[in-house]
Amino acid sequence: TQLLEQSPQFLSIQEGENLTVYCNSSSVFSSLQWYRQEPGEGPVLLVTVVTGGEVKKLKRLTFQFGDARKDSSLHITAAQPGDTGLYLCAGVGLFSGGGADGLTFGKGTHLIIQP
């Protein structure tokens, strides 16, 4: 069973601050995805990282895939109230055949940005 540990579980910061959330595993993944979920909505895909060491930027969000493809981080610069939500990481196993092995989700980081 592949597990993804996300930290911190909860984070509340002031508008304008920077933050980093982490997604760690002992397993290697062929790709890793980050989703954001707002209250009353389903998760929305933000980014997929594929190559070890890869860095992707989405406006003020920077995503990094670890060199060994076991971990990832999400860094937000100058956080805004609109960034509030549940951030989920999800990994695709090396031998994915769909189903339960297709995508492993972490439990998420609840992020609150206070004005």
Residue ranges binding other proteins (CB under 8 A): 30-31, 33, 35, 40-45, 48, 50, 88, 92, 96-103, 105-108, 110
Select 97 or 115, whichever has its Cβ closest to other proteins: 97
Using CA atoms, how far apart are residues 114 and 59, in angstroms rounded to an integer? Answer: 20
Shortest spacing between CB 90 and other proteins, in angstroms: 8
Select 35 or 65, whichever has its Cβ closest to other proteins: 35
Please check whether residue 65 is in contact with residue 53, taking contact to mean a CB–CB distance below 8 angstroms: yes
In the sheet with 19-24, reading across from the earlier edge strand, the strands are: 5-7, 19-24, 71-76, 61-65, 55-58
Select 78 or 94, whichever has its Cβ closest to other proteins: 94
Using CA atoms, how far apart are residues 8 and 84, in angstroms rounded to an integer? Answer: 14
Select 29 or 66, whichever has its Cβ closest to other proteins: 29
Shortest spacing between CB 4 and other proteins, in angstroms: 9
**Tokens representing residue 37 in the block:** 């979920």
Shortest spacing between CB 16 and other proteins, in angstroms: 27
Please state the length of the chain.
115
